[in-house]
Amino acid sequence: MDKLILLFFLLGVIGPGGGTIFFVGLPNTSSVMENKPAGTTVFTFSLSTNSSVKSGFPLIINTSPLTKAFFIVSATPHYSVVTSGNPTLDYETVPNSFDLQIYVEDTTGATDLQILTVQIIDVNEPPVFQDNLANQDLVLYIAERTPIGLIYQVQVSDPDNPTSQLTFSLTPASAPFFVSGTGTISSSKVFDYETDPHSYRLMVTVKDLPGLSINGTIIVSITNINDETPYFTTTTTTYSIPEEQRPGTIVANITASDPDADSFLSTLLYSINPPSVYFTIDQLTGVIRIAMTIDREADPFRTNPNIKLEITVKDSPSGGNMNSTFITFTIQDINDNPPTCTQYAFSVHVPETEASNTQILNLSQFCNDIDVDSPNNLFNFSGLSGLGSNQRFQLNPSGTGSIVLIGSLDFEDPNNIAVGNEYSLTVVVQDIASPYFTKNLYVYVKTIPVNEFPPVFNSSSYVFNVSELSPPSSKIGQVYATDKDYPYTGITYSIATGGSTLGNPSIFLIDPSTGSLQLAAYADYETTPKYILTVQATDLGVTSFTSTVSVTVNILEANDEKPICLPNAYTLSVPVDQAIGTNIQNFKLTCTDRDSSPSSFTYSFNSGNINNHFTFSPTAGTNITSLVLATPFDYSGGRDTTWNYNLRVYITDGNLVPPGSVTVIQTGTVSLYINVYIPGLTTTITTTTPEVIYNIANKNTYSAVAWYIPFVITLGCLLLLGFLGYLTYLLIKHCRCRTAPKPDKEPLKEES
C-alpha cells in the first residue's frame, strides 16, 4: 500500500501543468460509534494545492470492503467524511473496519490518493423483546379459580450478546405475580372474580449486565366463570336490507345478557355459526356488518333473496355456557344496473324502395336490464337524433326500440345524395327508475340502391349510312343510352336481331361499352341494301333492365363489281393478209356488270397488242363489241416479227365518269391468243370452242357444303409433294457421277 501511495505521489502530485496537490491529515485512522445516524462526521481533512480543486473532487473511489456507508462533504477548505446511513453501521451486522481510498485532482491535472481507515466502535444496546411486548401492551386473560402457576414466558434477547445473562423484575411488587430469572411470569394466588380486582397492570423490566434495560406492560384480566346460560335480549329475527351495501355497513345489533354478570357485556362473545362470507359479527358487541357486497342479481339471491344465520353467544372464549338464535336477512333489489345491450353499434342496410312505416330495426331485442324486480328492470328508448332522424326515421311506438322509416330513401334524391345516402342515428336507452341509468346506442343506416329504371336511348330510332366499300372495323355510328339509377352501374350494348346475310350471323359488331356500331365484314349493296337491327342496352344492376331500339343501316351503293365478259379467254387465227377493219373470226365480247350500265364500258388492251394491229369496235358505250384488225401485218418489210399474239384486254366501267372527278372504277380482264398464218400453207387452224367462266365472288362468306374443296386441294398438294420427292429420290439414285478411269500400270502383252 505504501508503494502504491508513493507511486501516486510521484506520478500525480505534480501535474503536467506544474501544479501540486496533496492531502493534509491523510492517511489516517478514525472511529465512529455504531448506529450513528446518517450525516455523522467521521473525519475531517484539508488539501494543499497551488491551483483549484477540480469539480467533483475529492471523492471516495474505492473501499475495502465495498460499502456505500460513507461520502465526502465539501466545506472548503475543509472536507468531511460522513456517514450515509446506507447501510446503518451496526457493529453486530457490518464489518468493523473500512479502508476508504480518497482521490483528488486539481485543474492542472495534479492528483493525490490517500487512505482513511474507519473503525466501528461497539456500543452496548439494551435488550429487545421478541414477542408482542415489543410493539404494544400485552393483555393476558386468566379465568377465575385458575390454579397458581405459569401465565406467560417473556421472549427477550440481548443484541450485543445473545448468550448474555439478563435479569428480570416485576412491578408493582404487591401484585400477586412474580417473575423468575428465566423470564417466566407466574401467579401467586387463585383469583376470585367477585372479590379480587378484575385486572392487574404489571411492568416487567429486563436488564443486561452493563445496566441497560427495557420495560414492557402486561395487563392481566381476570375473567368471570359462571353457570348461567346467556339469553338474547334482541327480539327481532327478520331484517330487510338493500343489496350492494358497502362492506362494514351495520345491518343489525344482536344483544344478550349473562345472569352471572349482567353489567359486564364484554364477557359475552358473539359469533356466526357457521361463519358467513356475507356478514361478520363483533364478538364483543354483537354488531352485525356487511362483510362482502351482496348482489341481488347474482345466484343464489336472484331466486332466493333470504340469508339465514345462526347467532351464538358464549360467556367464555373457551368452554362456559352458550346460547344460539336464528335471524334472517332478506335482500331487497335496487336499481343498480343500467340497461345492457349485446351491441351498441348497429349497421342497417335498407333498400331505397323500402315502404314508409316499415320497421328497419328493433333495438329492444338487443337490450336487457338484469335487475330483478320491477320497476328497476324496466327501461325505454328515447332521444332519437342524428342527421335526417326527424325527416326519415322515428321511434314508433314512442319509448320502444322500434325504429320506423317515415321518409323517402330515394337514392337519386339530391337531398339524400348530399349526405351520401348514409345516416348516423343516436338512440338513448334509459331506466325508468332512479337513478335513471342511460346508455347510448348508435345506428348507422345505409341506403342500398335498387335498379328501378331501364336504360333510355337518346333517340327513338337511329339511321346510319355506310358505303359498301367500307372495310371491316369501319365505324358506322353510335347509339347512346342513359340510366336514371344512381349510382351509375354501367350499360352494355348488344345486337339482338338483324344484320345477317348469306349465312353470316351478322356483318355488324357493337362495342358493349360505348355502343359504337362497326362493320364485322364487307357489306354488299347488291345483296342487301338495307339492314334493320334491334340493338339492346342492358344496365348492370343486380336485377337488370333491358331496352331496345331500332337501328337502320343503309348500305350505300358503290362501284365494287367488275365487268364480266364472255368468253373471258379465247384462241383465234388470222391470215397474214387479213383486210383491216375485218372482224377476226367473227369474235365478239359480251359483257355484264352488276352495278354499272353497258354504256359505262370501255375496251382497251393492256398488253400484247404489238404495233397496234388489233382494236375493238366499238371501243366504249356498249356491252357487245367485236375484235377487228386495225393495221395490216408487215412481215416482209421487217416491221412485224411476231406470229403469235397474247392479248390482255381491259374492260372498265368508267366511261361515264366526268373528267377530273374522283371515283372508283372497276376493271375486268379477258385473255385472247391470236395466231397469224400465211394462207396456202398447210396450216391447221385451230379454233377453241368458246368457254364461259363465271367468277362469282362471295365476299366474306363460306359455304359449309364446300368443305371438300380445301380438303381435296390439301390432299392433292400432299400427293404432289410425295410424287416430287419420289422422283428426286430416283434421280439421285440413277444419275450418279461415273468414277474416272484409272490408268493401267501394267504393260500390254503381245499376242503370240
Measured distance CA(558)–CA(469) in Å, rounded: 7
* Residue 168 identity (one-letter amino acid): F
Measured distance CA(71)–CA(79) in Å, rounded: 10
395/738: higher pLDDT: 395
8 A C-beta contact, residue 67 and residue 84: no
8 A C-beta contact, residue 382 and residue 399: yes
Q: What is the pLDDT of residue 694?
A: 42
Measured distance CA(666)–CA(121) in Å, rounded: 138
For cell 465495498, name the residue.
Answer: 66
Residue 153: pLDDT band with limits 50, 70, 90 = very high
The arithmetic mean of pLDDT across residues 266-290, rounded, is 92
Instruction: Report strand pairing: 367-368 vs 340-341.
Output: antiparallel
The arithmetic mean of pLDDT across residues 178-185, rounded, is 91
The arithmetic mean of pLDDT across residues 108-125, rounded, is 88
Q: What is the pLDDT of residue 184?
A: 92
Q: What is the pLDDT of residue 12?
A: 46
501/432: higher pLDDT: 432
Written as nine digits, the cell of 636 is: 416482209
N-term to C-term CA, the chain: 145
The arithmetic mean of pLDDT across residues 260-267, rounded, is 56
Q: 411 to each of 124, 232, 490, 539, how far by Cα in Å? A: 97, 80, 16, 17
Measured distance CA(241)–CA(238) in Å, rounded: 10
Q: Which 3 state secondary structure label does DSSP give 648?
A: strand
Q: What is the pLDDT of residue 749?
A: 52
Measured distance CA(529)–CA(466) in Å, rounded: 10
Q: Which 3 state secondary structure label does DSSP give 165?
A: coil
123/233: higher pLDDT: 233
Q: Is the pLDDT of residue 376 over 60?
A: yes
Q: What is the pLDDT of residue 747?
A: 60
The arithmetic mean of pLDDT across residues 349-368, rounded, is 93
Q: Which 3 state secondary structure label does DSSP give 417?
A: helix
The arithmetic mean of pLDDT across residues 183-203, rounded, is 89
Tell me which DSSP letter residue 11 carries: I
**CA dihedral defined by 728, 733, 737, 742, rounded to 10 degrees?**
170
8 A C-beta contact, residue 444 and residue 424: yes
* Residue 42 identity (one-letter amino acid): V
Measured distance CA(612)–CA(604) in Å, rounded: 11
At 492-511, the pLDDT tens digits run: 999 999 876 655 568 999 99
Q: What is the pLDDT of residue 696?
A: 42
Measured distance CA(595)–CA(599) in Å, rounded: 12
At 236-245, the pLDDT tens digits run: 999 999 999 9
Written as nine digits, the cell of 627 is: 375484235
Q: What is the pLDDT of residue 320?
A: 73
Q: What is the pLDDT of residue 56?
A: 83
Mean of all residue pLDDT scores within the chain: 86
Q: 418 to each of 104, 390, 394, 410, how far by Cα in Å? A: 81, 17, 21, 12
Q: Is the pLDDT of residue 4 over 70?
A: no
8 A C-beta contact, residue 135 and residue 74: no
Which residues neighbour 467 within 8 Å (Cβ) at sequence distance 6 or greater? Answer: 555, 556, 558
Q: Is the pLDDT of residue 2 over 70?
A: no
At 694-735, the pLDDT tens digits run: 444 444 444 555 667 788 888 899 999 998 998 888 888 776
Q: What is the pLDDT of residue 76?
A: 74
Phi first, then psi: what are they for 416, rounded to 5°?
A: -75, -35
Measured distance CA(295)–CA(331) in Å, rounded: 9
Residue 261: pLDDT band with limits 50, 70, 90 = low
210/515: higher pLDDT: 515
Q: Is the pLDDT of residue 659 over 90?
A: no
Q: Of 91, 2, 106, which Cα lies nearest the Cα of 51?
A: 106
Q: What is the pLDDT of residue 229?
A: 80
Burial class (CB in 10 A: 0-12, 13-18, 19+), 271: middle
To the nearest whole percent, how much of the chain has pLDDT over 90?
49
Q: 3-12, 477-486, 564-573, 722-731: which range is least confident on average?
A: 3-12
Measured distance CA(213)–CA(210) in Å, rounded: 9
Q: Is the pLDDT of residue 6 over 70?
A: no
Measured distance CA(305)–CA(568) in Å, rounded: 121
How many alpha carbons fall within 13 Å on the CB side of residue 614?
A: 30
Polymer length of the chain: 752
Residue 645: pLDDT band with limits 50, 70, 90 = very high
8 A C-beta contact, residue 348 and residue 441: no
User: Could you please report the per-residue DSSP string of 668-696?
Assistant: EEEEEEEEEE-TTS------PPP------
Residue 11: pLDDT band with limits 50, 70, 90 = very low
CA 289, 292, 295, 299 torsion-angle sign: negative
Written as nine digits, the cell of 713 is: 386441294
Q: What is the pLDDT of residue 535?
A: 95
> Which contacts (CB < 8 Å, 24+ apart) does range 361-366 have?
361/401, 361/402, 361/403, 361/443, 362/400, 362/401, 362/402, 362/403, 363/401, 363/402, 363/403, 363/427, 363/429, 363/441, 363/443, 364/400, 364/401, 364/402, 365/401, 366/341, 366/342, 366/401
Q: What is the pLDDT of residue 549?
A: 95
Instruction: Report strand pairing: 138-143 vs 213-223.
Output: parallel
Q: Is the pLDDT of residue 148 over 90?
A: yes
The arithmetic mean of pLDDT across residues 200-206, rounded, is 93
- The three-point CA angle 135-141-144 to 5° equals 160
349/3: higher pLDDT: 349
For cell 420495560, name the residue.
Answer: 215
Q: What is the pLDDT of residue 134?
A: 84
Q: Is the pLDDT of residue 10 over 50?
A: no
Measured distance CA(394)–CA(403) in Å, rounded: 6
Which residues neighbour 414 within 8 Å (Cβ) at sequence distance 6 or greater? Answer: none
**CA dihedral defined by 743, 744, 745, 751, rounded to 10 degrees?**
-150
At 86-105, the pLDDT tens digits run: 888 877 778 888 999 999 98
**Which H helix or E strand runs over 329?**
strand 322-332
Give the number of other Cβ atoms within 10 Å of residue 727's Cβ: 10
For cell 423468575, name the residue.
Answer: 180
Q: What is the pLDDT of residue 697?
A: 45
